Amino acid sequence: MARRGYATMTNDIYDVVCVGGGPAGLSLLAALLTSNLRVALIEAQDLTKSSVLSLPPSKFSNRCSSLTPSSAQFLNSIGAWSHLQRDRIQAYHEMQVWDGVTGARIEFDWPTQGTEKTIAYMTENLNLTSGLLGRIRELGGVDIFESSKVEQIQLGEETEEMDLRSWPVVQLSNGKTLAARLLVGADGANSPVRSFAGIESRGWDYGRHGVVATLALEGEGWGGEYSKTAYQRFLPTGPVAMLPMPGNFATLVWSTTPANAALLKRLAPKDFIAAVNAAFRLSPVDLAYMHSQNEGQDEEYQWRMQHTQTNPRMLPQAVVGVQEGTVASFPLKFRHADTYIGERVALVGDAAHTIHPLAGQGLNQGQADVQSLVGAIEYAVSHGQDLGTQMWLESYNSERYAANHVLMGVCDKLHKLYSVESGPLVPLRSMGLKAVNALGPLKGFLMAQASGSGAKVI
């Protein structure tokens, strides 16, 4: 197309332009709207899709996240928490984690009985985005460009009055241009903002898919409605986790091979239910056989359970139903951008890092990114600094990069450690789990990390 001068109109100039209206981008906007900054949001999708949570109380979306108390606290501090539908959020207070090969187990529960201590809150992503949008609408003052694709991003030009050669200028599919003092990429793993900034993102694919589904259980959990437990079993193919939702519902996150994922998605409901129950109960050998069957998992499961010893109280309650249309899968990746900042560019959430879902930390990392970036922006603004310049973004990068790196490394190593079926690593890792289980203070430290309330590792 013909070259033209971009963004010489004053009304095209913004302090912060955020690309991406997911949980991270929306949190950033909600946090910035109480300042006097001129802010814009660009979202490729129609935002009504992420703002309407019209499911009945007995139906739950299959995309859920485990929000740590620190994330919840941040959402509360930016005025968004009260906009979430609280009756669709489920707190849990205990974690059961065990090794599928050796059975070694670690139980996480808070030692002090009586004083309620929440490890995390299970929340539908849709509940979160619609709550954030509710807060953003309440505050007003943001220019939202939805159903708008980013056509291209390039640097601005110099004119008689101003020199925007260091300013990213975003051109939308409708022809509109926005010049950004700070361009925030909250635009996901394939971030166009990151590409524009020339920031490499490195990593690998795990060769695993995450299978999700909304499940109905035989009851509200062994501890009843006020004491819920999250379960995770490490299988050689990847961890399978069942996380409590309100009532007798739960959400499944099962990392497994792409072939297994494809099979699980095609199974009839009763066979799918049997496969899930089996994943928490049967031996890896049994499971491998069941995953080679095209159908009939239900019968196979019933038969094999007659020959398997289990302690039901140590396991999630049996799955009795799966909500129609909720079985889905996505490929698992490990990605980490080389840096989160450039001149007038910052990356948050999945644009900066993609993590293995086994610790349920992806969304929380994004919230912590946003909280840190907002802190950097507020410091710059209150001291008259240009909030887009790299020097005043440095604190964000140094605060978050190392913290994310440690967490991502731990999750990656856990995944690899538990992918091993035999050999010297297997007894060692069981010993590790048993040792951790026996050591109260270490367990407390690990739980505090998981709930985001502990002293930071870095």
Partner 1 sequence: MAPIRPNAATGLRPFLRAAPGIRPPFLARTASPPQLPAQRWHSSVNPDEVSHFNALASEWWDPHGSSRLLHLMNPLRHDFINACLTSQPEARPSSLTYLDIGCGGGIFAESAARLPSTSSVTAIDPTPSVLAIAKAHAKKDPMLASKLSYQQKSIEELPTPEKGYDVVSVFEVIEHIDQPAAFLDKVKPFVRPGGWLVMSTIARTWMSWFTTNLVAEDLLRIVPPGTHDWNKYINEHELRRYFAGKGWHSPRVMGVVYIPGVGWREVKGSEKVGNYFFAVRRDAEES
Q: What is the CA radius of gyration of the chain?
A: 23
What region, left, alpha or beta, does residue 22 occupy, with left being phi > 0 and alpha being psi -120 to 50 degrees?
A: beta
Q: Find the shortest distance in angstroms from Cβ 202 to partner 1.
A: 24
| Pair 71, 119: CB distance under 8 Å | no
Q: Using CB under 8 A, which residues numbered 12 to 71 contact partner 1?
A: 13, 36
Measured from the CB atom, the residue of 158 and 218 that comes closer to partner 1 is 158
Measured from the CB atom, the residue of 72 and 346 that comes closer to partner 1 is 346
Residues 124, 329: Cα–Cα separation, whole Å: 16
Per-position x/- string for 143-162, each x denoting binding to partner 1 as judged by CB under 8 A, each - no binding: ---------------x--xx
Q: Which of 1, 10, 175, 202 binds partner 1 (CB under 8 A)?
A: 10
Query: What phi and psi values does residue 293 have, to the nearest 5 degrees?
Result: -85, 140
**429 CB contacts (<8 Å, ≥6 apart)?**
99, 102, 104, 417, 418, 420
Helices (H), 322-361: none
Q: Find the shortest distance in angstroms from Cβ 166 to partner 1.
A: 6
Q: Find the shortest distance in angstroms from Cβ 197 to partner 1.
A: 16
Q: Which of 166, 326, 430, 453 binds partner 1 (CB under 8 A)?
A: 166
Q: Using CB under 8 A, which residues numbered 64 to 103 contact partner 1?
A: none
Candidates 115-123, 164-172, 366-374, 436-444; binding stretch for partner 1 (CB under 8 A): 164-172
Which three-class secondary structure state does DSSP give residue 355? coil
Does position 292 interact with partner 1 (CB under 8 A)? The reply is no
**What string of DSSP letters covers 372-394?**
HHHHHHHHHHHTT--TTSHHHHH
Signed CA dihedral, 431, 433, 437, 440: sign only: positive
Candidates 163-171, 259-267, 311-319, 358-366; binding stretch for partner 1 (CB under 8 A): 163-171
Residues 272, 104: Cα–Cα separation, whole Å: 26
Q: Find the shortest distance in angstroms from Cβ 391 to partner 1.
A: 4
Measured from the CB atom, the residue of 391 and 428 that comes closer to partner 1 is 391
Residues 88, 63: Cα–Cα separation, whole Å: 13
How many residues does the structure list for the chain? 458
Measured from the CB atom, the residue of 326 and 390 that comes closer to partner 1 is 390
Measured from the CB atom, the residue of 37 and 347 that comes closer to partner 1 is 37
Query: By CB neighbour count within 10 A (0-12 exposed, 13-18 middle, 19+ buried), where does 256 fall?
Result: buried
Count how many Cα atoms sit within 13 Å of the Cα of residue 92 in the half-sphere of its side chain.
29
Beta-carbon count within 10 A of 296 CB: 14
| Pair 254, 266: CB distance under 8 Å | no
Q: Find the shortest distance in angstroms from Cβ 13 to partner 1.
A: 6
Q: Find the shortest distance in angstroms from Cβ 262 to partner 1.
A: 50
Per-position x/- string for 177-196, each x denoting binding to partner 1 as judged by CB under 8 A, each - no binding: ----x---------------
Closest Cα partner for 202 from 405, 396, 418, 428? Answer: 405
Measured from the CB atom, the residue of 13 and 142 that comes closer to partner 1 is 13
| Pair 14, 181: CB distance under 8 Å | yes
Candidates 75-83, 141-149, 165-173, 433-441; binding stretch for partner 1 (CB under 8 A): 165-173
Q: Find the shortest distance in angstroms from Cβ 379 to partner 1.
A: 7
Q: Find the shortest distance in angstroms from Cβ 168 to partner 1.
A: 13
Measured from the CB atom, the residue of 293 and 389 that comes closer to partner 1 is 389
Q: Find the shortest distance in angstroms from Cβ 375 to partner 1.
A: 13
Measured from the CB atom, the residue of 131 and 156 that comes closer to partner 1 is 156
Measured from the CB atom, the residue of 138 and 338 that comes closer to partner 1 is 338
Measured from the CB atom, the residue of 268 and 391 that comes closer to partner 1 is 391
Q: Find the shortest distance in angstroms from Cβ 346 to partner 1.
A: 15
Residues 43, 145: Cα–Cα separation, whole Å: 6
Measured from the CB atom, the residue of 60 and 167 that comes closer to partner 1 is 167
| Pair 94, 221: CB distance under 8 Å | no
What region, left, alpha or beta, does residue 300 occupy, with left being phi > 0 and alpha being psi -120 to 50 degrees?
A: alpha
Residues touching partner 1, count (CB under 8 A): 22
Measured from the CB atom, the residue of 10 and 113 that comes closer to partner 1 is 10
Residues 245, 243: Cα–Cα separation, whole Å: 7
Q: Using CB under 8 A, which residues numbered 359 to 418 contact partner 1?
A: 379, 381-386, 389-391
End-to-end CA distance of the chain: 48
Q: Find the shortest distance in angstroms from Cβ 389 to partner 1.
A: 7
> Which positions lie near partner 1, rule CB under 8 A?
10, 13, 36, 158, 161-167, 181, 379, 381-386, 389-391
